[in-house]
């Protein structure tokens, strides 16, 4: 399994394309899936990871409103993409709107997937994340100690 990490900033071209970083592109192959993520980003998954996540999400119960809503949003916002010969992805209008992306995008590796952010949104959330990093680490550590 490939682990995605690092942060990269790109500018979309006139066709709403950006180049995926080489080390990420090598792990993705030619086909990937993008879906709505959390905190107003998009999530890009390699095919194998997306299939596993889809199988897990398909087991959500349509009789439970929260599960039904999550499932609908996950599958309804998902699209498959093919990287071109130079590793570019052309984002759909729907995905551009969902993440408020207009020009600059930030690509963030997040373990088993890649997040795609509008630069403005990422700059705001990154500042907040940086400020709470140590406090969150403490909370997570305390939770793990209780569960040991």
Give 74 or 1, the one with higher predicted confidence: 74
Percent share of the chain, pLDDT over 70: 99
Task: For the chain, give every domain's residue range.
Answer: 7-119
DSSP H or E run through 133 = helix 119-147
Cα separation of 8 and 27, whole Å?
A: 16
| DSSP result, 19-81 | EPPHHHHHHH-SEEEEEE-STT-EEEEEHHHHHHHHHHHHTS-TTSHHHHHHHHHHHHT-EEE
Eight-class DSSP state of 16? S
Q: Does the predicted TM-score (pTM) go above 0.85?
A: yes
**3-class SS string, 74-107:** HHHCCEEEECCCCCEEECCHHHHHHCCCCCEEEE
Q: What is the pLDDT of residue 20?
A: 96
DSSP H or E run through 141 = helix 119-147
Sign of CA dihedral 92, 66, 113, 140: positive
CATH numeric code, 7-119: 3.40.1550.20
Q: What is the pLDDT of residue 47?
A: 96
pLDDT in tens, 30-84: 999 999 999 999 999 999 999 999 999 999 999 999 999 999 999 999 999 999 9
Q: What is the pLDDT of residue 146?
A: 87
Cα separation of 142 and 148, whole Å?
A: 10
């Amino acid at each position: 399994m490939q682990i995605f990490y690092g942060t990269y900033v790109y500018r979309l071209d006139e066709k709403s394309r950006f180049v995926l970083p080489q080390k990420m592109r090598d792990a993705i192959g030619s086909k990937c899936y993008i879906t709505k993520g959390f905190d107003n980003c998009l999530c890009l998954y390699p095919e194998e990871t997306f299939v596993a996540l889809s199988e897990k999400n398909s087991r959500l119960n349509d009789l439970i409103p929260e599960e039904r809503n999550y499932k609908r949003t996950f599958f309804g916002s998902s699209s498959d993409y093919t990287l071109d010969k130079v590793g570019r992805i052309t984002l759909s209008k729907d995905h551009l709107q969902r993440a408020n992306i207009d020009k600059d995008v930030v690509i963030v590796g997040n373990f088993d997937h890649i997040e795609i952010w509008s630069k403005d949104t990422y700059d705001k959330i990154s500042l907040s994340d940086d400020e709470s990093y140590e406090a969150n680490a403490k909370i997570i550590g305390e939770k793990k100690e209780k569960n040991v």
